[in-house]
Amino acid sequence: MVAVNWNLKEAQLLARLKFKKVPSPIERDYKWPGVYPPMQHQKDTASFLTLNPRAFCFNEQGTGKTAAAIWASDYLLTQGAIGRVLIVCPLSIMQSAWQADLFKFATHRKVGVAHGSREKRKEIISAPYDYIIINYDGVETVSKEIAAGGFDLIIIDEANAYKNPQTKRWKVMRGLLTPQTYLWMMTGTPAAQSPTDAYGLGKLCVPDNVPKFFGAFRDRVMEQINKFKWIPKHTASAAVHAALQPAIRFTKEECLDLPDLVYVEREAPLTAQQTKYYKQMKAKLAAEAAGEEISAVNAAAKLTKLLQISGGAVYADSGAVIEFDVSNRLQVVKEVIEEASHKVLVFVPFRHTIDLLYNYLTQNGTRTEIICGDVPVSKRTDIFNRFQTQPEPNVLIIQPQSAAHGVTLTAANVVVWYSPVTSIETYLQANARINRKGQKNSMTVVHIQGSMVERDLYKMLSRKLTTHQSLVDLYKNSLDT
C-alpha cells in the first residue's frame, strides 16, 4: 500500500472546488451598500450564497468573504426570504471582523454581539437586532433562546470548529437546524488534517451528501494499514469533494485586485487573572510616572511590563518568571494557524512566552520549531533550510531580534504577531521575511491584541511612527485609559 500525502491531495481537492457561475438577481437588483463597492469575486461569492440555502464558502483568508456573506444575507433580508441572521465565529473576530464589517457594509442594519454573562446574552438575543454575533461556546449557553429567536440563516465562520460530530458543540448546533434553516459554513481550509474532517461539516450542512454513520464515511476515504494506522485512499479527494457541495472557493492569487500584503487584527481578550494584574501594573506605573519627565527609553521599558502581562509571562525584578492564564491568546494563535493555506511565522518578543506557546502547539500536534538567541547559528540554518524545502516544520516561533534581518522564509505567507514590539525597524524587517523575492502567494500579517497598550502600539507600528514623542505619548495614554 502506497501512502497518500494528504496535504497534496487536499491541495488538489481545493483546486477542484470551483462553481458553475449562475446569474443571481442580487447582481441586477442589489445596491451593494458599504464604504466601497464589491470586487468581482465578492459579487460572485454573494451571488452563489443567495442561490444556495445550504452551502460552503472556502475562500482563502483575506479575500473578503465576510463582506460577501454580509451582502448576500442583507439581500435576503431585503427580499423577505429570511428574518434574522446568527453569525457564529471565534471570539477573536466577533468585533474586529464581523461587527466592524457589518458597520461598513450594512450600516442600515442593527447588530448585537452576544457576549458576556448568560443573562446579557439572553437580553441581546431577545432584542430586535437583524444580526446577532456569538462565539462557538456561547451557543450552548443560550441555545434555547437561539432556537426561539427566529434565526432563518446561520453563518458559521472558521467552520472547522464543527468537524467532529461527537462534540457537544456540534450536537447543539445540529439541534438548532431545521430543514428550512439557511446554513453557510465558511473556512479557507476544509479537511486540512484528514479527509475524515469533511464528515462533520457535510453531515451538519448537507447530511444527504454523507453516510449516516462516521464509520462508513471513514471506510470510503481511508485505508486501514494496521490496528492503529489509517491512510487516505487515492479516491479520498473525490469523495470529500462530493461531500462538501455546493461549494465556492477563491484564492488570493485569483483575486488580482487584492493587495499583496493584508493586515488583520484578532482579539484575544485578557483572562480574569491577566486583567487583575494588568490593572495593578498600570496603577504602579502611573504612580511612578507622577510628576516626572519620562524618556522614550524609559517609556518603552515600562510599556514592556504591560506587554508581558498581555502575553502571559512577566519577568520580576528578582529574575523570576510569573506565568498567567493566557488560554484565550493561545487559542487565537491555533485558530490562525489552522486557517492558514501555507506555513506560518509567529513572532514572540519574550523568551519565556516562546516556551509557553511552543509547548501548547506541540501538544496540539503542530510541527513547530523555535528560533531565538539560545539556538546556535548552525541549528538555525538547518531549521530555516527544512522550513523552506521540506513539508515540516509547519510553524516557526521566532524571537524577532533573532531573525528580523537577512533571512528568507517565503515558504510561509502568514506572519502572526503574538505581541507587538516597540521597534518599528524590527517590526518591518520581521514582516519582510515573507515579503521577499521568491514569494508566490499573497501574504497576511495578523496582529493579536487583547489590551489597550497592544492596540495603540500596533497603530503606531502600522503608521511607522518612530519619534521620541509618539512612544512617550503611547505610554501616557496607556496609563490614562
Confidence of residue 110 (pLDDT cuts 50, 70, 90): very high
**Cell (9 digits) for 258:** 487584492
The mean-pLDDT minimum among 40-54, 213-227, 278-292 falls in: 278-292
Specify the long-range contacts of residues 219-223, CB closer than 8 Å, at least 24 apart.
221/195, 221/196, 222/194, 222/195, 222/196, 223/1
Residue ranges of the chain assigned to CATH 3.40.50.10810: 6-251
**Cell (9 digits) for 130:** 437583524
CATH topology of domain 261-269+306-480: Rossmann fold (3.40.50)
Q: How far apart are CA 259 and CA 237, in angstroms?
A: 31
pLDDT of 86 higher than 90 = yes
Residues near 101 by beta carbon (within 8 Å), at least 6 away in sequence: 66, 67, 70
Confidence at residue 304, expressed as pLDDT on a 0 to 100 scale: 85
Confidence of residue 196 (pLDDT cuts 50, 70, 90): very high
Give the CA diameter of the chain: 75
Residue ranges of the chain assigned to CATH 3.40.50.300: 261-269+306-480
pLDDT higher for 440 or 10?
Answer: 440
Neighbours of 448 (CB within 10 A): 24
The mean-pLDDT minimum among 125-129, 205-209, 302-306 falls in: 302-306
pLDDT higher for 5 or 473?
Answer: 473
Confidence at residue 381, expressed as pLDDT on a 0 to 100 scale: 86
Distance of alpha carbon 209 from the chain centroid: 28
Confidence at residue 174, expressed as pLDDT on a 0 to 100 scale: 97
Confidence at residue 104, expressed as pLDDT on a 0 to 100 scale: 93
Confidence at residue 2, expressed as pLDDT on a 0 to 100 scale: 34
pLDDT higher for 57 or 293?
Answer: 57
**Cell (9 digits) for 76:** 435576503
pLDDT of 328 higher than 50 = yes
Residues near 305 by beta carbon (within 8 Å), at least 6 away in sequence: 281, 285, 314
Q: How far apart are CA 329 and CA 360, in angstroms?
A: 11
pLDDT of 270 higher than 70 = yes
On whether the CB atoms of residues 13 and 191 are closer than 8 A, the answer is: yes
CATH 1.10.1060.10 fits 6-251, yes or no: no
Q: How far apart are CA 399 and CA 36, in angstroms?
A: 38
Q: How far apart are CA 452 and CA 348, in angstroms?
A: 18
Structure confidence by residue, pLDDT tens digits, 347-403 = 999 988 999 999 999 999 999 999 998 898 889 889 999 999 999 999 999 999 887
Confidence at residue 1, expressed as pLDDT on a 0 to 100 scale: 32
